[in-house]
Amino acid sequence: MIRIHGTGCCLMDYLYPHTDFGSPQFRARLSKKDGDGGLAIGKLVFAKDFEAFTGLPYERVLAEITQEEPVCNLGGPAAVSMVHAAQVLGKAARVCLYGARGNDAAGDMVEEALARAGFSPRTPKSSAVEKDTAGPAQYVLKRYNGFTPRTDVLSDPAYDNGHGERTFINLIGEAEQFGPEDLGEDFFHADIVVFGGTALTPRIHRNLTELLGRAKQKNALTVVNLVYDYQSEQSAPGKKWKLGSQDNAYPFIDVLIADRSEAWRTSFRASTAEAARWFIERGCAAVIITEGTKPLYVAAGGTGIFKALAETTLPVSQGISRELAAHPEKRGDTTGCGDNFAGGVIAGLAESLEQDPPLPGTPALGKFDLRDICIPGIIAGGYACFTLGGVFYEKYPGEKQQRLAPFIEADKTGLHEGP
């Protein structure tokens, strides 16, 4: 059984699915310059800074912009990706999410949502030996006395010629307190260790190099899924973002996942191709850069578990695009597309490890093709457009994988025919 442990951003999403980005109320609150606390389409801002930017109470401005009641769903790059991986892998993997919650009703909502997604609470252990009898999907949430992290997600389905886009306002809450000491030694005893959206768990983010290094010492594969780093943007507008306190986390990363803007700001390179090359040169074994409905950019250096792969592109799912075009009534929103994409990549990596595990004590250099790992991610990211919010709640175990399977098979055609 493959063990997958993940940490980072876990919160409640408050979804406003019919926000008009062209309305006077929205446009008046758009950012004037980087890091000033105003709204930026496709990016994130902290609520306290947005309140300072507007000079008005946050909840009042939010109501003026959205003009609707929110729909709540479990959110956060760590939570959503781990839920997806657990759903599609089922009993083939033991998935555990580590995060933080407050002592409030929203924290109860997070745990209720995790339970609905098939997760049960787990008591951390100090040994690599698994002795608990809980199900394959588990969580460990550190409880603090303050409030649970929340993101208000403003979505305009008509934006970008009907492809849709979002902007995010984050109330960081007790995620600001969550740190390396809250993970425990048990966290590192896994086959795959995932860090998702750690810019929204600042103490984890600052210590990424050390945490990734500890995972590698235990022979785990590591996946890092970036999120918009508003704190870095605010502290040094227009400057390069660091990954790790000394910007030195890259050699410990097997798969780095970022969208275009995150990749550009973290590498400080002018193009997606240059950004991918920079990450590989800095030591990442593989890099995946997404750009919404446009093809994603992938590369592998050949120094890790993946075969060498020169920078190349992979298309988004044409099957899902056709389904959405033919049945617009099935469209939810684009919230969680990137997080589900990461979950699909994690699941694809786990399936490859299960089918062809490295021999004990033998380096697994050049064992897998990165493009094969990406296909489950492409389908998972696209399929998220059918739901409102990032998490799909199954009616029965295996339902999501059953729904995804036809799209996965269709999109394998021509996979290796690209440039």
* Per-residue pLDDT tens digits for 244-267: 989 999 999 999 999 999 999 999
- The mean pLDDT of 405-416, rounded to a whole number, is 71
Q: Which helix (H) or strand (E) holds 353?
A: helix 337-355
CB 419 within 8 A of CB 315: no
Question: Would you tell me how many other CB atoms lie within 10 Å of the CB of residue 136?
Answer: 20
Q: How confident is the model at residue 359 (pLDDT cuts 50, 70, 90)?
A: low
- Sequence-distant (≥ 6) Cβ neighbours of residue 209 within 8 angstroms: 244, 245, 246, 248, 249, 252
- The mean pLDDT of 34-56, rounded to a whole number, is 93
Distance, CA of 93 to CA of 82 (rounded, Å):
11
What is the 8-class DSSP label of residue 123?
Answer: -
- Angle at which helices 370-383 and 77-89 pack, to 10 degrees? 110
- The mean pLDDT of 367-381, rounded to a whole number, is 93
Q: Which helix (H) or strand (E) holds 404?
A: helix 399-411
pTM: 0.91
Distance, CA of 177 to CA of 144 (rounded, Å):
8
Closest Cα partner for 347 from 383, 318, 313, 312?
A: 383
Q: What residues does each domain of the chain span?
A: 2-12+77-150+182-417
Residue 362 has pLDDT above 80, yes or no: no
The pLDDT, as a whole number, for residue 417 is 45
Give the model confidence (pLDDT) of 197-210 as tens digits: 999 999 999 999 99
Closest Cα partner for 20 from 11, 10, 12, 30?
A: 30
**294: β partners:** 291
| Percent of the chain surpassing pLDDT 70 | 93
Q: In what order do the strands lie in the sheet with 294-300?
A: 120-121, 137-143, 93-101, 2-8, 192-196, 221-225, 255-259, 286-291, 294-300, 309-314
CB 223 within 8 A of CB 342: yes
Fold assignment, 2-12+77-150+182-417: UDP-N-acetylmuramoyl-L-alanine:D-glutamate ligase (3.40.1190)
Rounded to the nearest integer, the mean pLDDT of the chain is 90
Burial code (b: 16+ CB inside 10 Å, e: under 16) for 91-115 equals eebbbbbbbbbbebebbebbbebbe
- The mean pLDDT of 353-374, rounded to a whole number, is 77
Tell me the DSSP string of 103-117: SSHHHHHHHHHHHHT
Q: Provide the strand spans (E) within 157-233.
A: 165-171, 192-196, 221-225
Q: Which helix (H) or strand (E) holds 267?
A: helix 260-267
Q: How confident is the model at residue 284 (pLDDT cuts 50, 70, 90)?
A: very high
Give the model confidence (pLDDT) of 149-194 as tens digits: 999 999 998 888 877 888 999 999 999 999 999 999 999 999 999 9
DSSP percent split of the chain into helix, strand, coil, nearest 5: 40, 20, 40
- Angle at which helices 260-267 and 272-282 pack, to 10 degrees? 50
Specify the range with the lowest mean pLDDT, choosing from 17-21, 281-285, 334-338: 334-338
SS3 97: strand
- The mean pLDDT of 384-399, rounded to a whole number, is 90
Calculate the dihedral angle through the C-alpha atoms of 381, 382, 385, 388, rounding to the nearest 10 degrees: -30
Name the residue with higher pLDDT: 185 or 363.
Answer: 185
The pLDDT, as a whole number, for residue 360 is 57
Give the model confidence (pLDDT) of 63-100 as tens digits: 999 999 999 999 999 999 999 999 999 999 999 999 99
Closest Cα partner for 407 from 364, 352, 344?
A: 344
Name the residue with higher pLDDT: 303 or 269.
Answer: 269
The pLDDT, as a whole number, for residue 418 is 42
CA distances from 92 to 69, 351, 371, 386, 388 (A): 39, 8, 22, 26, 28
Give the model confidence (pLDDT) of 98-155 as tens digits: 999 999 999 999 999 999 999 999 875 544 555 554 568 999 999 999 999 999 999 9
CB 74 within 8 A of CB 9: no
Copy the structure tokens of residue 268.
């400080």
**300: β partners:** 286, 309
